[in-house]
Structure 1
Amino acid sequence: MSHVTPVLVDLIRVETRLYNAVSARLRAQQGLGLGQFEFLEIIDRVPGCRVLDLVAEVAITVGAVSKAVDRLVEAGWCRRVANPEDRRSSLLRLTPEGEAQLAAARPVVEAESAALTASVPPEDLARLATTLAALRAGLEADQVG
């Protein structure tokens, strides 16, 4: 086994445990999961957000994103509007309910994330953030090329 394999396994296990813990707290306190939160946050952050923008951001299939967006629409948290530049796609917009849900969820995600990483010194978290950003950039560049 290479020296990288145990690191990758640890990274995957840590990600899974962090994701599940944050999602469970968010679901208990706000009634939405972390995946829904992520989509609401991206729709809010990306001007003229389309399903393909979500696909690029979270690296899952168009079908999975489209179904997730359907669920956000059904919940009343976002809506699809006609894209004036491309009639084949829609733009995604948060509804007032979606904006309120996102605003209420952000501090829950932040608090749980902080609690789960409290045992790691801030300088180590900063170094980890830099390392993960570099790894992600490399992986995303490979996907484009």
Structure 2
Amino acid sequence: MTDLTSLFTDLVRVETRLYNALDARLKAEHDLPLGQFEFLRFIARRGVARVYDLAHEAAITIGATSKAVDRLEAAGRCRRTANPDDRRSSLVMLTPEGERILAEATPTVEAELQTWIGSVLPADVLENLAVNLSMLRRRAETDHRTDRMEP
């Protein structure tokens, strides 16, 4: 029987070390923290996003997300505009600079992930891990909601 507490500890330690390694490499090579990279990817996939959408995706508070968007905007990587459908929110989109830095940083992230994960796990194990983590994430985001943010 699997010791779930040990599994949890391993999962958290791997995530922490991987996050720190990716963050350090992105900062060193692109002057881009990993958190900003993740926001840029999310905005790029959506085309436009509300601060609430970013907060929900990252599972952090709207206040922390708004400050992160302020930093992205100050760096010229995104811009905010008024939301015509909701005066209480704004819309965030990438600038050409945000698109450029995301395009440059993506291969760096992929190379680091290949080193940490892709080169360690066989393809079938990696595929199984991806399926199972996706299932756990969906469960965490729907059945066991810890955020209580309102749109």
Asked if TM exceeds 0.5, the reply is yes
Match in the other structure for 1:93:
93
Q: Secondary structure at the match of 2:131?
A: helix
Q: TM-score, normalised by structure 2?
A: 0.91
C-alpha deviations, 1:98-126, integer Å up to 9, x for none? Answer: 11011101111001111111121111111
Alignment-derived partner of residue 19 in structure 1: 19
User: Identity percentage over the alignment?
Assistant: 56
The answer to whether the aligner puts 1:102 opposite 2:116 as a matched pair is no
Cα shift at 1:3: 2.0
Deviation, 1:63, is 1.0
Deviations 1:53-73 (A, max 9, x none): 011111011111111000001
Q: Which residue does 1:123 correspond to in 2?
A: 124
Cα distance change of structure 1 residues 36 and 21 upon mapping to structure 2, 3 Å threshold: same
In the TM superposition, structure 1's runs of 4+ consecutive aligned residues that sit over 4 Å from their partners are none
The root-mean-square deviation of aligned C-alpha atoms, in Å, is: 1.5
Q: Secondary structure at the match of 1:91?
A: strand
* 3-state SS of paired residue (2:60): coil
Which stretches in structure 2 are left out of the alignment for 5+ residues?
Answer: none
Q: Structure 1-normalised TM-score?
A: 0.94
**Aligned match of 1:29:** 29
1:50 aligns with 50
* Gaps in structure 1 of 5+ consecutive residues: none
